[in-house]
Amino acid sequence: MPTTARELTVLDAACCGDGAARPMELAEAERLAGLLKAVADPARLRLLSLVARSADGEACICDLTAPVGLSQPTVSHHMRVLVEAGLLAREQRGRWAYYRLVPGASETVAAAFLDSFRPR
Amino acid sequence: MPTTARELTVLDAACCGDGAARPMELAEAERLAGLLKAVADPARLRLLSLVARSADGEACICDLTAPVGLSQPTVSHHMRVLVEAGLLAREQRGRWAYYRLVPGASETVAAAFLDSFRPR
């Protein structure tokens, strides 16, 4: 009796014709979905845009709460998600945390996303 | 007393220095987050890749279940989300539904995503 999704897939695949297409690998799909989930949130998109538009490409947490109308704990949570996804870099300086975009990170996510729509 | 997120934002904005950046508009952020949520799911990414890789760019629902190891009701749910997001087009022919990518839709999402990272 099959007990994992992988085993189920292998068994079910026996029903497919020889010419059936193969989907993106599950591990790659899970990785990409995780990155997309990190940005699939209106507050996080607005916070990213704020950092991107900051005069010197760097934003203090103290300047992020007012423009998006959210509390500092809420903003800190969103920023942590974006740092963990590799989209933002965080630097603590004294009392405040400062954030910058990680160069190339958004382009990597966009390219992986577009790749899932590409014929093989 | 402020009663909406927009009113709160306007009031809070009074605290910001003149040089403070402005975030992406809330309505635009909500629209883009909705599109990203539609694809931020491993099963939906795999289904999109299957349609994209189908020999003639078209896939029958009957050929989608086995490669991803999911039931037809589950696959139908995921396909409906992708159709509603404007990423897939659906055509019913007899017993089966057939799916194609909507031309340019993935590029539009990727461009909007990248735009949120761009300085102004």
pLDDT in tens, A39-57: 999 999 999 999 999 988 9
Residue of A20, A43, A45 with shortest CB distance to B67: A20
CB contact under 8 A, B117 and A49: yes
- Map out the domains of chain A with their CATH numbers: 42-113 (1.10.10.10)
Nearest to A52 among B32, B107, B117 (CB): B117
Rounded Cα–Cα distance for residues A113 and A2 (Å) = 31
What lies within 8 Å, CB to CB, of A53 at 6+ separation is: B21, B22, B23, B119, B120
User: Which residues are CB-contacts of A116 (< 8 A; sequence separation ≥ 6)?
Assistant: A24, A29, A32, B39, B45, B48, B49, B52
**pLDDT of amino acid B20:** 67
- In DSSP terms, A59 is beta-bridged to A99
Average pLDDT of the segment spanning A15-43? 85
In tens, the pLDDT along B1-12 reads 333 333 333 434
**pLDDT for A35 beyond 60:** yes
From A19, A36, A66, residue closest to B36, measured CB to CB: A36
What's the rounded Cα separation, in Å, for the pair B5 and A5? 43
Chain B residues whose CB is inside 8 A of the A48 CB are 116-117
pLDDT at B57: 92
Mean pLDDT calculated for residue range B82-91: 97
The two three-digit tokens of residue B27, written as one number: 């309505």
Distance from CA of B33 to the nearest CA of A (A): 4
* Residue of A56, A119, A42 lying closest to A91 (CA atoms): A56
Residue of chain B with shortest Cα separation from A4: B69
Cβ-proximal residues to A82 (8 Å cutoff; 6+ apart), any chain: A38, A39, A44, A47, A48, A88
Decide: A85 and A34 in contact? Cβ < 8 Å. Answer: yes
B116 CB neighbours in chain A (<8 A) are 39, 45, 48-49, 52
